[in-house]
Amino acid sequence: MKIIVGITGGIAAYKTPALVRLLVKAGHEVRCAATEHALQFVTRPTLETVSQHPLYCDLFEGNGTRTEHISLKDWADMIVVAPASANIIGKVASGIADDALSTLLLAMSGKRVVMCPAMNSEMWAHPAVQRNVATLLSWGIEMVGPADGHLACGTSGTGRMVEPEEIAEAVCGTLPLTGKRWLVTAGPTYERIDSVRFIGNYSSGKMGFALAEALAEAGAEVELVTGPTALKVQHQRIHRTDVESAREMYTAATGLFPTCHGAILSAAVADYRPSECADHKLKKQGDEGMTIQLVQNPDILATLGGMKKEGQRLVGFALETDNEVQNAERKLQRKNLDHIVLNSLRDKGAGFGVDTNKVTIIARDGSHTDSPLLSKKDIARLIVNTVTS
Ligand code: PMT
């Protein structure tokens, strides 16, 4: 992995060279980016020696193009800021970019960002810092620490930077799905009637994109096959394939599944499509009305159920309006699934379009996990934890 280690002004910065050394020893390529205040606590030659790269500290030095922060961001897989002061946490939460490190951090959206806070315990407890930390967490920025213990200011409490060994472990050691590949389907499908009309549905893709994010956050490489949606992919471990129709989704998903450890199919796939698609705009034909003949689409989930090899996990969704649990259990058996996620359209705030969901996750052994109404991001984390454990 290519890792940027960011360093801000705090006494714990004296431990950062040990972190850099551990990461380099573990086979990672490391570059350091420091604030000017950090260099009051750790020296440039030390950081350059342990990382074996020039230090990035000044927005206007470097390759001469004055966009070094962008080159560095493109180069890196992730950044870990250790120690992360209250100041840098506040700047990132407020979108402030007024030096090399804060500008780099603003450019890192879409990449993994880990903060290792270190400060006096009263500063850590301050509502402004807590609010800023909550903001960063809500954006998917990870917090490692702070730890409890003796602080440099002579007091004890929460605020110590986590030890370099623990940071190295959190950064690159043990994400639960590292090395795994998962397939996710998301969004609606559009089934063309003519050159300007289609049969579609109200799926926004939010649930499927949240699942892809949750899998990627857990370390997996994710193949996201999505129907038409305006959503954007946030994580660099998500590889996106855009499709329009059920048949295109079928081709993409069946092609990718054999190389995946598991699949979660959350797309709202049209069961039927017009038997013919006119290559021009159909004209109104008198007052008699119009009949469109429909033919069945392939069932992607059932096909993957038939292809499933030992060790592969397959998770489907069931969108039901009545006899919900019974219907979902039948789908789980018929399509050879390991889990099925039941979405009842009777639950307020759940289902199409909204940012929240409420589900029942049913396992093959018959056990049920009922969720409260949560954000789709939290539902996605719950599903990922349940189906991958
Ligand atoms: O996208 P959002 O706006 O966030 O909304 C999320 C959602 C409501 C679409 C999602 O949570 C959901 O419930 N998805 C499943 C919708 C659905 O089509 O359910 P179903 O019961 O008709 O299908 C059962 C399963 O078979 C699903 O996993 C579906 O992806 C799959 N299927 C269905 C038909 C088909 N031809 N091929 C399939 O793979």
Amino acid residing at 208: G
Beta strands across the sheet bearing 339-344: 238-242, 221-226, 181-186, 262-265, 313-320, 339-344, 359-363, 368-370
* pLDDT recorded at residue 67: 75
CA pair distance 298, 335, nearest whole angstrom: 13
Burial class (CB in 10 A: 0-12, 13-18, 19+), 117: buried
Residue from 5, 10, 382, 37 nearest 214 by CA: 382
With a 6 A CB cut-off, is 206 part of the ligand 1 pocket? Answer: yes
With a 6 A CB cut-off, is 343 part of the ligand 1 pocket? Answer: yes
For atom 23 of ligand 1, the residue with the nearest CA is: 318
Q: Evaluate whether 116 touches 165 at the Cβ level (below 8 Å).
A: no
Cα 245 to ligand 1 centre (Å): 14
CA pair distance 39, 44, nearest whole angstrom: 7
From 301, 341, 373, mutation site for ligand 1 pocket: most ligand atoms within 8 A of C-beta: 301
CA pair distance 80, 143, nearest whole angstrom: 10
pLDDT in tens, 124-151: 999 999 999 888 988 888 888 888 777 7
**291: CB partners within 8 A, 6+ apart:** none
Cα 152 to ligand 1 centre (Å): 54
With a 6 A CB cut-off, is 103 part of the ligand 1 pocket? Answer: no
Whether 32 sits among the annotated catalytic residues: the reply is no
pLDDT in tens, 272-313: 999 999 999 998 877 888 899 999 999 999 999 999 999 899
Q: What is the number of other CB atoms lying within 10 angstroms of the CB of residue 318?
A: 23
Q: How far is CA 376 from CA 106, 234, 307, 329, in A?
A: 25, 15, 29, 23
3-state SS, residue 120: coil
Structure tokens at 6: 């960011």
Cα 56 to ligand 1 centre (Å): 47
User: Please, what sign has the CA dihedral across residues 244, 209, 264, 331?
Assistant: negative
Specify the range with the lowest mean pLDDT, choosing from 93-107, 161-175, 365-379.
Answer: 161-175
Structure tokens at 290: 């119009």
* pLDDT recorded at residue 64: 52
* pLDDT recorded at residue 63: 55
Q: Evaluate whether 142 touches 108 at the Cβ level (below 8 Å).
A: no
pLDDT in tens, 45-70: 999 999 999 999 988 776 556 677 88
Catalytic residue among 57, 153, 260, 277: 153
Cα 317 to ligand 1 centre (Å): 5
DSSP structure string for 296-310: EPP-HHHHHHHHPPT
For atom 17 of ligand 1, the residue with the nearest CA is: 268
Structure tokens at 163: 């030890």
CA pair distance 28, 19, nearest whole angstrom: 12
**Stretch 188-208: mean pLDDT:** 97
Q: Evaluate whether 269 touches 200 at the Cβ level (below 8 Å).
A: no
Q: Evaluate whether 85 touches 115 at the Cβ level (below 8 Å).
A: no
pTM of the model: 0.65
pLDDT in tens, 150-165: 777 778 778 899 888 8
Strand partners, 198: 192
